Amino acid sequence: MKFKSIVQQFLALTLVVFAFSCSSSDDGDNSSGPNSITITVNSTTVFVGETVNFTVTNNSGNNVTSNSELRIGDTVIPNPYTFNDLGNFEITATTGNLSTSITITVTEAPEPTSLTLTTDIDSFWFDSGSAEFTVIDNFNNNVTGLVTFNAESGTLNNPATFATAGTYNVTATYTLQDNSVITSNTVVIKAVESTHTTKVMIEDYTGTWCQYCPRLAYALDQAVAANSNIIPVAIHDDNDMPFPNVDVLLNEFGITGFPSGRVNRTINWNESTSQPVALLANRQNMGLAINSSLSGNSITAEVKVHYDLKADTPNRLVVYLLENGLVYPQVNFYNGDPSSPFFQQGNPIMDYVHNHTARTTLTDVFGD
C-alpha cells in the first residue's frame, strides 16, 4: 500500500491478547482429603494393536496418574498400554488406598482400503510447536493408533515435532494382514523459524505546558539508547505541536494525566527500560518493512507485511509520521532538583528540543 504526506515516518502494529481465568469455591466438604478416583480414556472400544492412554483423577479434580498403578488382573501394565489381543479387559487403577476400574473392549479392525489424514494445525514454530494427526479409514473408523506417520525427517510421533525448520510432507501408512501397505493422502506441514525482530512501541503523552513531562521524555530517550528495538512516539496535547487525534487516543486508552507512557498502546509504562525490553522476547507471527521517498513536500511510503505464521485474529496497520528537532519552550518542574538532568536548565527550558513528535498518521489512528 502507498501513503503520501510530509517528513519522516514510523510504522507500528500492535496485537494484544488477553487471557482470563476464574475459580469458584469447592462444592461440598473435602476436609478429610480425596475419597475416590476415576479413570478416563479417549474411548473404551479400541482395535487390536491400538494404544490407550489412561488418566486418573481424584474427586478433588487432581491428576494423580503418575501416582497410580494400573493392572489387568494381577499384572501391572504400563501407561500408555497397547492391546494386542481381542476381548474385554478390566483395567484397575490404584492410588494409595483408593481404587477404581474401567472396561476396555478390544475388537478386530476391519481392514481399510483407504485412509484420510488430517492435522489440527498446518504451521507452527518448529522449536516450540507440534502438529497432532488424525486418521479415519473408509469405514469411518478412527485408526490413528494403528498407523505409522512418515515425513522427510523419518518416522514421526503423534503429536509430531521437528528438529529443524522446513516444509514437511506427512503421510500415514497402514499395514494389512497380508503385509501390504496402504498410504493416506499427504498433509503439508510447515515447521517455521522466526525471520523477524520484535520491536516495542512506547507512546509518550506529553505537552510543552506539562511540568513533569521532561522526566518521562528523558526515561524514553534512555530506553531507546539502551535498545534500538524500542520505538518512541511523542504524542503532544498542546498548541505548539498538537497531534490531530490526541483526544480520541486519550479517550480510547483512558489517559487522564500527563505525562503518561503506554507500551504497545495499552500497557502502562513504569518508565523503566526493563519493562519494554522484557517484551522484546515475545516472538511475533509477522514482520513489517517500510520504504519511503521524498519529492518536494510530499513523501511516499510503501509498507510491506510478511507473515511467518498465520494470524489468529485480524491485524490493523498504523503508520505514524514523526518529526525530530522541533524547538519549543518546555515547562520544567525539575529546574531546582540537583538529581535531575534538567537541573538549572531553566523553567521553562527555552531551547528544549522535541524529537520523535507525532505529526499525523497516514492511516486511521487505530489502523487500516
Q: Are residues 76 and 102 in the same domain?
A: yes
User: In the beta sheet, which residues pair with residue 5?
Assistant: 299
Give the pLDDT confidence score for residue 32 in this predicted structure.
66
* Residue at 265 is within a domain: yes
| One domain, residues 123 and 218 | no
Question: Hey, what amino acid is at 73?
Answer: G
120 and 50 part of one domain = no
Considering the domain boundaries, does residue 165 fall inside one?
Answer: yes
**Torsion angle, CA of 277/282/285/287, rounded to 10 degrees?**
10
pLDDT band of 49, cuts 50, 70, 90: confident
Mean pLDDT of the chain: 90
Both 167 and 91 in one domain: the answer is: no
Is the per-residue pLDDT at 27 higher than 70?
no
How many angstroms separate the CA atoms of 90 and 100, rounded? 10
Nearest to 121 by CA among 190, 186, 171: 190
Same domain? For 162 and 247 the reply is no
Contact 171, 150 (CB under 8 A): yes
Percent of the chain at pLDDT > 70 equals 91
Rounded CA-CA distance 249/112 in Å is: 61
Rg (C-alpha) for the chain, rounded Å, is 31
Q: Which domain holds residue 51?
A: 37-107
Residue 249 sits in the same domain as residue 124: no
| Cβ pair 204, 223 in contact under 8 A | no
Residues 229 and 202 in one domain: yes
CATH of the domain at 183: 2.60.40.10
Question: Is residue 181 in a domain?
Answer: yes
Examine residue 367 and state whether it is found in any structural domain, yes or no: no
pLDDT of residue 172: 98
Mean per-residue pLDDT, 330-334: 98
Domain finish residue from 160, 192, 224: 192
Residue 11 has pLDDT above 70, yes or no: no
Residues 6+ apart with CB under 8 A from 198: 229, 279, 280, 281, 282, 283, 284
* Residue finishing a domain among 143, 159, 192: 192
Question: Is 366 part of a structural domain of the chain?
Answer: no
Mean pLDDT of 80-102: 95
b/e burial code for range 19-29 (CB count within 10 A of at least 16 → b): eeeeeeeeeee
Judge contact between 47 and 108, C-beta under 8 A: yes
pTM score of the predicted model? 0.68
Number of compact structural domains in the chain = 3
∠ at Cα 57 (53, 60), nearest 5°?
A: 165
How high is the pLDDT of residue 33?
Answer: 79
- Whichever domain contains 237, its CATH number is 3.40.30.10
Question: Residues 181, 326: one domain?
Answer: no
pLDDT at residue number 1: 46
CA distance 260 to 236: 11
Q: Residue 18 pLDDT more than 90? A: no
Residue 31 pLDDT: 52
Distance CA 100, CA 36 (A): 8
Q: Read off the pLDDT band of 109 (50, 70, 90).
A: confident
Same domain, 166 and 287: no
User: Could you tell me if 101 and 137 lie in one domain?
Assistant: no
Structural domain ending residue among the three candidates 88, 107, 126: 107
Asked whether residue 357 is assigned to any structural domain, the reply reads: yes
Average pLDDT over residues 196-207: 97
Which of 129, 228, 117 lies closest to 174, judged by CA?
Answer: 117
Percentage of residues in the chain having pLDDT higher than 90: 83
Is the domain of 236 the same as that of 119? no
Interval 247-269 mean pLDDT: 96
229 and 131 within one domain: no
- Beta strand 298-307 with 267-268 is unpaired
Q: The domain spanning residue 97 has which CATH number?
A: 2.60.40.1080
pLDDT in tens, 346-356: 999 999 999 99
Is 79 within a domain? yes
3-state secondary structure labels for all residues of the chain: CEEEECCEEEEECCCCCCCCCCCCCCCCCCCCCCCCEEEECCCCEEECCCEECCEEEECCCCECHHHCEEEECCEECCCCEECCCCEEEEEEEEECCEEEEEEEEEECCCCCCCEEEEECCCEEECCCCCECEEEEECCCCECHHHCEEEECCEEECCCECCCCCEEEEEEEEEECCCCCEEECCCEEEEEECCCCCCCEEEEEEECCCCCCHHHHHHHHHHHHHHCCCEEEEEEECCCCCCCCCHHHHHHHCCCCCCCEEEECCCEECCCCCHHHHHHCCCCCCEEEEEEEEEECCEEEEEEEEEECCCCCCCCCCEEEEEECCEECCECCHHHHCCCCCCCCCCCCECCCEECCEEEEECCCCCCC
**Closest of 357, 292, 312 to residue 330, by C-alpha:** 357
Assigned domain for 230 exists? yes
